[in-house]
Structure 1
Amino acid sequence: MSQDFQTDSRQMLGRLRGVMAQDAAGQARLDQITHLIAEEMRIEVCSIYLFRDEDMLELCATEGLNPEAVHQTRMRLGEGLVGRVARTGQVINTDDAPNTPGFRFMPETGEEGYSSFMGVPIQRLGEKLGVLVVQSKDARSFSEEEVYAVEVVAMVLAEMTELGAFIGDGAAMKARHQHPVQFRGTTAQEGAARGHVWLHEPRVIVTNLIGEDPVRELERLNEAVDELRVGVDRMLTSARFGDKEQLEVLEAYRMFANSKGWMRRMEEDINRGLSAEAAVEKEQSTARARLGQVADAYLRDRLHDLDDLSNRMLRILTGQGTGTAAEMPSDPILIARNIGPAELLDYGRSLKGIVLEEGAVGSHATIVARALAIPLVIHAKNITTEAMNGDPILVDGDQGVAHLRPGETVIAAFRDKMAMQAKAQERYASIRDKPATTLCGRTLSLTMNAGLMADLPSLEGSGADGVGLFRTELQFLVRSKMPKRAELSELYSRVMDAAKGRDVVFRTLDIGSDKVLPYMKPTDEPNPAMGWRAIRVGLDKPGVMRMQLQALIRGAKGRPLSVMFPFVAQREEFNAGRAELNKALERERILGHPLPATMRLGAMLETPSLAYAADQFYRDVDFLSIGGNDLKQFFFAADRENERVRRRYDTLNISFLTFLQGIVERCMATDTPLSFCGEDAGRPVEAACLAAIGIRSLSMRPASIGPVKSILRRTDLDELRSVIDEAGRRGDQSVRPCVMDYLREKL
């Protein structure tokens, strides 16, 4: 590449800096930019197309086309060459535009006669903002140097857009990060919250885009890279050697930090006129754009590494995020791409709500959010790009929606919803200490799910009869190394102390699937939900199971103890687990430690196979707990993490209720206590139907106990059972419609 062109590139960026410095309205700036690009490149046409919404591009400024077409010409994403550039994020460079696939002639622009076309995406960190187009009458392809120059200008335009350089009059763009935006995601934890945005990883805003002194900018880049490398080396030094997986990740980090290609590209960008920050972000934007096109998991991880290193570099160069943190608002709504359980626990109950771009319905972060009773919406695409610290936001966990910078109408409706919920909570509080006795005289046991000490205060406030499921894996997931037996024993003892004599059912370690311990090498399985998890891991690693069983026995301190094994698929697995418990009890007896006053051992019925186990299994277990979340996904062959299928199948489907009824009948015949645990137990309509088919114990999140108790106390289960049976005789697919009609009439 010639030195002359590099000088011209810097000259163009220098003139752009002058445009940015002027006190001008947004449209005037856009017009000046198209003029100077056309002049510098000695071409006839330069145009800027910007997104008006996520599907529509608008011609916002032009030099060379019909000026009356500005703000009148629009095209959809993917339409014409401009739309193709916007959709794919790839440059189109052709010497024969009219005969290029996808070309769309727009007569109102007066673009006939321009053979050459180059379109470059205007995007920032994967967010599509528009397209920069240059055209020429000469039938030629633009050179590599010219393509690069326009790409650099497009990147600067993206930053200027981010900084609000093109607002100020009605014809220009709307102010970014100021207008209301609704994000429709997926419900992971119900509830409503109103507050202000707190970004888990605040976005670095680059204000210094163009470098005046390339030598000084190169010095700044090298100083930042040196600091970055020292930091990565420090992480490697402090890493626990022997943890091969962790070391591999950090070695990959160091490889990128020392990448000559990465450095060379950034140095070239600086020599062409960019600041050190802009050069780093240009590389980051390239990596983000590639991320969306790479299917290979390994390559995606490496691109994520590069993205993270770029963020670290930008923080070093700008000083953002390296000094005193901004003050968290008093009503924080946490916004993040994703978050781990330990990080979430660090925030604790200070959070009013959480919105994630990624996340999973069954992830351990979701379990922590449920334990803390914090409304959570996941799969809210692009919210980390749009949200700014301090923005007002409403989180509707019931609908899976987040309203960022909401208007007054939305705020008023949301305020009414929260008021109605508060009134309902008052009604539930009035029956907190009353039994869940139905109109037909049957009393159900309503217990709560827990997994943290922070859950236990809800035992009193919710009116729960006890803890039907205490998830013991959370104590393993939030640590960087395996917890010690003494630590677990102390925790289990405190859990039982907090229960004040109420029954607590401890589920043994349920890891695998989406719950991978930080210090345990993950297994690459094609379908982890049906793979090496839960009791399968415990039986293959009996040392861990024995340690936990000993901790539970010691934590009981002579009190009654209830334990259940998760994900039992056949009788032999339960028997093997019981043998390990008997060994632990015998060991504790020999050591002279007090044994539990009574010992109840149960199993979670989460696989259809266990429903058909021999009668002897039902006699062997002290109790059974139906794990509704897993059982339903296996029954319907519908992955509960897959949004395309998980909502397609209804819990109140006749076939599923009939299957559950078969389990109820087997338990009644063998006198085996049965409970139902899962999301459906906490949904009032579903809970009433489960009670109607004979399930007398339900375990749910604490906030659901009030609504479930309320509907049960106003329902005649015999009448409801008749409604369900009649729907079956008619051949209905689901009993939901007729049950809803019945409840509306009766309640």
Structure 2
Amino acid sequence: MLKTLRDITQAVASADDLQSALSLLVTQTKLAMATQCCSIYILEEHELVLSATDGLDPNAIGNVKMPVTQGLVGLVAEREEPVNVADAHLHPRFKLFSEVAEDSFRAFLAVPIIYQKLIIGVLVVQQAEARQFSEAEEAFLMTLAAQLAMTVREQRKRAEVASAPNQLYYSGTTAANGVVIAHAMVLGADIPLEQPDTFASDINAEQAMLQQALSACRNTLSGLSQRFDGENEKEVQSIFSALLLLLDDTSLGGEYAREVAQGLSAVSAVSRVSLRYIAQFQQMQDPYLQERANDIRDLGQRVLRQLIEPQKMHIELDVPVILVTKEATATMLAEFPQHKLVGIVTELGGVNSHAAILARAFGVPAIIGVEGVLNAGIDGKQLVLNATRGQVLVSPTPTLIREYRQLISAEKALQKRFSDELPLPAKTLDERRVHLYLNAGLLSSLASEIAEGADGIGLYRTEIPFMLQPRFPSESEQVEVYKQVLDAAIGRPVVMRTLDVGGDKPLSYLPIIEENPFLGWRGIRLTLDHPELFLVQLRAMLNASAVRDQLHILLPMVCCLDEIDQAIAYLEQAYLEVKQDLHPHLVRPKIGIMLEVPVLLFQLEEVAKRVDFVSVGSNDLTQYLLAVDRNNPRVSTLYDCYHPGILRALKHARIDCDKYQLPVSVCGELAGEPIGVILLVAMGYDQLSMNQGSLAKINYLIRRVSYADLSELLDKALSLTNGTEVRQLVTAYLKAAQLDEFL
């Protein structure tokens, strides 16, 4: 049965077009269930349209339509559940369409096809004999419909692009914000990595060809690395350094050579080694390790291009384009001519992939996880990429393009208006001061970002340099990075979070395979289990800080008081070592914890006796309070930081921190959103840390609201029942205050 399900699903997925896919579906389902008729109805503009059949009159396809309020098929869509009747003619919802010639069929079984809570169609099987379909038959059809939901949706999207593209859009996950209009450039692999096994007639000649190709690849990657070195992009540069290491004799380069030494041609050797390692990495459960398979594929194809057609190694573009690809690689993006790559759309990849990091470093709008876009036939079509909202609009109408161009122009003007006030302090109309800090991870442009109005760095994510290395960075390497961060802040506070990996931030060289990584070995749990790593990082932070009174150390994912005590003991050990060996006048840093595990909301009195400050991680606190994985698209709609229960927890934290004289800040996404800031300021939070792109906007907003008015607004928000009502309430307030530009 499983093989039958898989065969049907694969046949439908590989069909050339929607109609072929639906025809295959009904024919193979009819055979699998040994029935006399199988049909599929697709929901189009609130009507169910007969879209394919094997058993009814084929002339009725596309002509028979019914609202969901009519017929047995409509009943399935209306109730979103199967209907299984022995004699359809006797059912009160039965409706006969003479043009389909189904009056001879009695037994009726239909199941809904649902994708992400939305009905997209109904799958029906019928039989002349009056009988009830068995539970096993019903279960099979329901399983098939569930497996086919995404495939049918993708086929429909592909058909819509070809036939009626004007208002079609795809959605994905934002990797880098921004809005841009340009034509699509769909880019796959120029040369397939899968090459046949051929044997060398002259092993020495093949080895020479291989070494020449490897040398050319090294030169290219070195050039890219130096390009970013010139722009002080140390983290981006380390991506190419890691790729260069893969070409060493001790890594993939040596594996290629060994295969050639055993008699394979250079092309076959590169193919065989690459495919072997890709298969190993793809089988790993860790998402970061799975992404490293993409690095191996990228290098393999690069070497193959040097071996097979070295003259085609450069991308030449006349106009700016939006790159559409399966999964962008760091080298692919870096090789694009400057100012010609204006947007990125990928089917795969993660927000911490090398490509996503590069996109943010370049300031190029990017979205990832866009299902079915690569094979949708959009190459050369004009796109509107609204990465801020995670949307791609295909072949938009002239009217829509004009509207988006006006939007882009207005957005630039608005950003300038915001930026003009950024040097001014963030104070409410009734003179309540709010300190705005920067969340940072990459060193790129950090000095200029701090100079543009931040009161300091509220969260420096030290895991980013760890993630961009093929190994743990040494103490001296960490010292160098931390010094640059402290120097960039020019005497202002810098909150450095200790290594926070695990969950959605794994390290390629420290695989963590867990069934539930967000509740597993991550954050302070990992570093306390590895004091050798923790002490090196603490010493590096202290050494970089020396006599400066800037450094604040933040502990992530703390869930109990014992963890705080252990971490403080290690910090004391590191402090005494650095003071004795390097800096006799070393300033003792302040220490704080991330407030993201809900249990600590009820232990803030004890926390206040141990640490100097707390920082609320609103992202994780929300997902733990709601029991929703914020990175899981199946439940992402349940993740709502404006849920009144979340807001009450945040207010409770603020009240208790005041009670125990414990400084508190917020460093999650909530602190950079206008609606979130309105509510947080109303609660009394006066330290907010956010991404650089939000600083000017939030500063501008705070200078136009009254704390007294916000307090009254908060009381209303806390009495509401869901996050939607909260948004509506704050939206109405912003409109009344003539602050529509924040909506």
TM-score bracket, shorter-length normalisation? 0.5 to 0.7
Q: TM-score, normalised by structure 1?
A: 0.64
Give the superposition deviation at 1:498: 1.7
The aligned residue for residue 411 of structure 2 is: 421
Unaligned runs of 5+ in 2: 1-11, 40-52, 61-158, 218-242, 739-743
**Alpha-carbon spacing, 1:461–1:376, altered in 2? closer, same or farther (3 Å):** farther
Give the superposition deviation at 1:617: 1.2
- After superposition, give the CA deviation of every residue in 1:559-581 in whole Å (9 maximum; x if it has no partner): 12111111111121122111111
Give the superposition deviation at 1:735: 2.2
The aligned residue for residue 46 of structure 1 is: none
SS of equivalent to 1:443: coil
The aligned residue for residue 94 of structure 2 is: none
Q: What is the letter of the counterpart of residue 730 of structure 2?
A: V
Q: Give the conservation status (yes or no) of the 8 Å contact 1:469–1:505.
A: yes
The aligned residue for residue 174 of structure 2 is: 187
Give the superposition deviation at 1:704: 0.7
* Correspondence list, 1:21-100, <5 A: 55-57=18-20, 77-78=21-22, 80-81=23-24
Q: Give the conservation status (yes or no) of the 8 Å contact 1:676–1:698.
A: yes
The aligned residue for residue 480 of structure 1 is: 470
SS of equivalent to 2:389: coil
Q: Give the conservation status (yes or no) of the 8 Å contact 2:630–2:639.
A: no
Q: TM-score, normalised by structure 2?
A: 0.64
Distance 2:328 2:299 in 1: 19
Q: What is the letter of the counterpart of residue 464 of structure 2?
A: L
Distance 2:352 2:591 in 1: 25
Q: Which of 364, 372, 378 in structure 2 is aligned with 1:382?
A: 372
* Correspondence list, 1:220-231, <5 A: none
Q: Which of 654, 679, 703 in structure 2 is aligned with 1:664?
A: 654
Identity of aligned residues (%): 29
Q: What is the letter of the counterpart of residue 324 of structure 1?
A: M
- After superposition, give the CA deviation of every residue in 1:316-355 in whole Å (9 maximum; x if it has no partner): 6994677432236674544443357798789899654332
* Correspondence list, 1:584-603, <5 A: 584-603=574-593
Q: What is the letter of the counterpart of residue 525 of structure 2?
A: R
Give the superposition deviation at 1:679: 1.4
SS of equivalent to 2:513: coil
Give the superposition deviation at 1:455: 4.0
**Alpha-carbon spacing, 1:448–1:525, altered in 2? closer, same or farther (3 Å):** same
**Alpha-carbon spacing, 1:554–1:368, altered in 2? closer, same or farther (3 Å):** farther
**Alpha-carbon spacing, 1:313–1:355, altered in 2? closer, same or farther (3 Å):** closer
**Alpha-carbon spacing, 1:584–1:438, altered in 2? closer, same or farther (3 Å):** same
Q: Give the conservation status (yes or no) of the 8 Å contact 2:441–2:464.
A: yes
Distance 2:324 2:357 in 1: 17
Give the superposition deviation at 1:204: 4.6
**Alpha-carbon spacing, 1:348–1:462, altered in 2? closer, same or farther (3 Å):** farther
Distance 1:513 1:254 in 2: 37
Distance 2:416 2:710 in 1: 27
- After superposition, give the CA deviation of every residue in 1:436-456 in whole Å (9 maximum; x if it has no partner): 111222110111111121041
SS of equivalent to 2:695: helix
Q: Which of 491, 495, 504 in structure 2 is aligned with 1:501?
A: 491
The aligned residue for residue 735 of structure 1 is: 726
Q: Give the conservation status (yes or no) of the 8 Å contact 1:335–1:354.
A: yes
The aligned residue for residue 430 of structure 2 is: 440
Give the superposition deviation at 1:505: 1.0
Q: What is the letter of the counterpart of residue 745 of structure 1?
A: A
**Alpha-carbon spacing, 1:557–1:191, altered in 2? closer, same or farther (3 Å):** same
Give the superposition deviation at 1:367: 5.9
Give the superposition deviation at 1:82: 6.4
Give the superposition deviation at 1:56: 3.6
Structure having the higher Rg: 1
**Alpha-carbon spacing, 1:547–1:597, altered in 2? closer, same or farther (3 Å):** same
Q: Which of 593, 596, 608 in structure 2 is aligned with 1:618?
A: 608
**Alpha-carbon spacing, 1:454–1:224, altered in 2? closer, same or farther (3 Å):** farther
Distance 1:619 1:219 in 2: 67
Q: Which of 504, 512, 516 in structure 2 is aligned with 1:527?
A: 516
- After superposition, give the CA deviation of every residue in 1:459-479 in whole Å (9 maximum; x if it has no partner): 246421111111111111112
Q: Give the conservation status (yes or no) of the 8 Å contact 1:471–1:507.
A: yes
Distance 1:250 1:523 in 2: 26
Give the superposition deviation at 1:103: 2.7
Q: Give the conservation status (yes or no) of the 8 Å contact 2:199–2:263.
A: no
Distance 1:627 1:672 in 2: 16
Distance 2:37 2:721 in 1: 59
Q: Give the conservation status (yes or no) of the 8 Å contact 1:468–1:505.
A: yes
**Alpha-carbon spacing, 1:348–1:685, altered in 2? closer, same or farther (3 Å):** farther
Q: Which of 300, 308, 316 in structure 2 is aligned with 1:327?
A: 316
Q: Which of 440, 450, 453 in structure 2 is aligned with 1:463?
A: 453
The aligned residue for residue 337 of structure 1 is: 326
**Alpha-carbon spacing, 1:556–1:174, altered in 2? closer, same or farther (3 Å):** closer
Between 98-107 and 607-616, the greater mean CA deviation after superposition: 98-107
Q: Which of 525, 528, 537 in structure 2 is aligned with 1:539?
A: 528
* Correspondence list, 1:211-226, <5 A: none
Q: Give the conservation status (yes or no) of the 8 Å contact 2:595–2:621.
A: yes
Distance 2:497 2:284 in 1: 36
Q: Which of 343, 351, 354 in structure 1 is aligned with 2:344?
A: 354
* Correspondence list, 1:82-481, <5 A: 103-104=54-55, 106=57, 182-195=169-182, 202-204=189-191, 312=301, 319=308, 323-327=312-316, 331=320, 333-339=322-328, 352-360=342-350, 366=356, 369-370=359-360, 373-386=363-376, 393-404=383-394, 406-460=396-450, 462-481=452-471
